[in-house]
Structure 1
């Protein structure tokens, strides 16, 4: 069960942060994590995360049922193969952890977790999601997924779906970066279709306000709490200057109150210096303090006014406390996660599981296990 988040208001937590920010940043996750039993899993940083699955198998929607040990009999080394490949990829390119995590997110938010984001365009007969505005020249890591899939096909042909591969690789990317672990539910099938329109309309933009973000998540059956927890994925990775240009011009920017005011101007000036003369192509760390470590520093940054994307910084804005339609106080959750990494880790893992259960609208009856993640089997 997730810990309660309703005892302290955001303003009280922000005031407390002024007194304890240094201590919060230094306290190890292992010291703050509660004792757990054998049903729990641990992150590589030592954070213990207790996950409730609601039974051995969890329904993911009509026609699709997921379980935690589906491949133990049919492909026992599947997760070992994915884990080792992710470790190699991140060792070669630390940014790849965030890229693989983002692939899973962009897959699930468009017609459920069905591997559709991986399909290549075949004009004029098929146009997929890769050229959608949120994805074009932005998503990366496809070659890593290709290499893992090829190895899985050699080990156990036509067994592990590309959509399951994305879910496992996302978990392993978090773990290798120092974040929590969880037992990935698998059993998805790969779609034979994709939706360019869905990718253009369903995925949140880096300029989205809190109300829009909450609605985008509600549209797929996720809560405001899921939105705040999953936004914590921005504790790793980079973004191009074009993604946060609104921060530089002051459009839609909130400093998050008195805490943010002291550092915000200096932070924005450093971004302006980075982006000037780059035609928007320069990259900035989403979390300047601990850019390659999956931790709760992202939320501490928001309270300091140092969120990179406008959509990130808006989570700590004064107006985020009571968003219409939100079932949780967004700004209070930001402050809670800034104070307690173990709570963030547990909520993030649970939200990843819920996102992973987003099923294609028609279930899995029309799905397949692709042999090549870029094309449907009939085209190989």
Structure 2
């Protein structure tokens, strides 16, 4: 029996070793125009819908943080499966980003059929849009395959929520190999985009410091209980620019989400908030490193995934 077990381990190790590695020039021969196609599609979408960039950053995080960057969040539900994007926490993911991915994938399939994965598409789009907003340049490796599974039930309690404590956040990130410093750096993505009033308005009803900010938020969210789409920019100072203003706002008590403000007050994370508030270059360096690390977390390669023909559907129905 032990010989059979050893043989099985050797076969598994050999299979793992045979998996093709991610590389920066993965599509150099098979689809050299891939980057230009993706960039063009997302520039067009960002120009017509300026919230696309922030939405795509959020989509990338929700995809990668769960079980790796495998485009599982892009799958649509059907009669046989309730997919990740229909989990409660994902219902607010922006339609503009999904639409841009669909447009880019259609163009890719015309140019290079069955070649560029949706997971790589989302990673490259995130890199491009971050740069467009003035953020740091990312160095990405490519060659991810798309997931064969997407389940809404798998999402519960595995993505950070707007009412999470710092301890809960640290635990969630540590389970994926990320430090408190990387947690704070990745949270800097909130320097762009917006949050719906239902996620934070109640905490501004009273007792919150930065009184004028609280009054502005209350006015912006007036009647949100009956208007669920009401939202406020995460960074009300430079909402469309990727910079360190998010941290500077936290130092003034102007964090929109309770989780964000808590990072500036907890002893385990506040030193990083202070560092990034005072040094944008340090933030950019740490953010880029953390995103690059996240981009290779749990990726599928070789036979462990597929290259979807459509980003919202598996090539065949899941078993």
Distance in 2 separating the partners of 1:130 and 1:347: 29
2:201–2:217 Cα contact (<8 Å) kept: no
Tell me by how many angstroms 1:183 deviates.
2.1
2:205–2:218 Cα contact (<8 Å) kept: no
Residue 294 of structure 2 corresponds to which residue in structure 1? Answer: 355
Q: Which runs of 5+ in 2 are unaligned?
A: 1-15
Tell me by how many angstroms 1:137 deviates.
3.3
Distance in 1 separating the partners of 2:133 and 2:111: 27
Residue 212 of structure 2 corresponds to which residue in structure 1? Answer: 266
* Cα-to-partner distance string for 1:317-372 (whole Å, 9 max, x where unaligned): 1xx213xxxxxxx1111111111111111111110110011115x76523100010
Tell me by how many angstroms 1:224 deviates.
1.3
Q: Secondary structure at the match of 2:303?
A: coil
Pick the aligned partner of 1:303 from 241, 251, 268: 251
2:192–2:234 Cα contact (<8 Å) kept: yes
Q: Secondary structure at the match of 2:56?
A: helix
1:98 aligns with 2:59: no
1:247–1:308 Cα contact (<8 Å) kept: no
TM-score, length-normalised on structure 2? 0.89
2:55–2:93 Cα contact (<8 Å) kept: no
Pick the aligned partner of 1:150 from 91, 106, 112: 106
Q: Which runs of 5+ in 1 are unaligned?
A: 1-59, 254-260, 323-329
TM-score, length-normalised on structure 1? 0.75
Tell me by how many angstroms 1:120 deviates.
0.5
Residue 372 of structure 1 corresponds to which residue in structure 2? Answer: 310
Residue 189 of structure 1 corresponds to which residue in structure 2? Answer: 145
Q: Secondary structure at the match of 1:185?
A: coil
Residue 33 of structure 2 corresponds to which residue in structure 1? Answer: 77
Tell me by how many angstroms 1:198 deviates.
2.5
1:61–1:359 Cα contact (<8 Å) kept: no
> How many pairs were matched up?
300
Give the superposed CA RMSD. Answer: 2.1
* Cα distance change on mapping 1:331 and 1:241 into 2, 3 Å: same
Residue 241 of structure 2 corresponds to which residue in structure 1? Answer: 293
Distance in 2 separating the partners of 1:216 and 1:310: 17
Q: Secondary structure at the match of 1:278?
A: coil
* Cα distance change on mapping 1:62 and 1:289 into 2, 3 Å: farther
* Cα distance change on mapping 1:61 and 1:249 into 2, 3 Å: farther
Residue 340 of structure 1 corresponds to which residue in structure 2? Answer: 279
Structure number with higher helix proportion:
2
Tell me by how many angstroms 1:191 deviates.
0.9
Q: Secondary structure at the match of 1:378?
A: coil
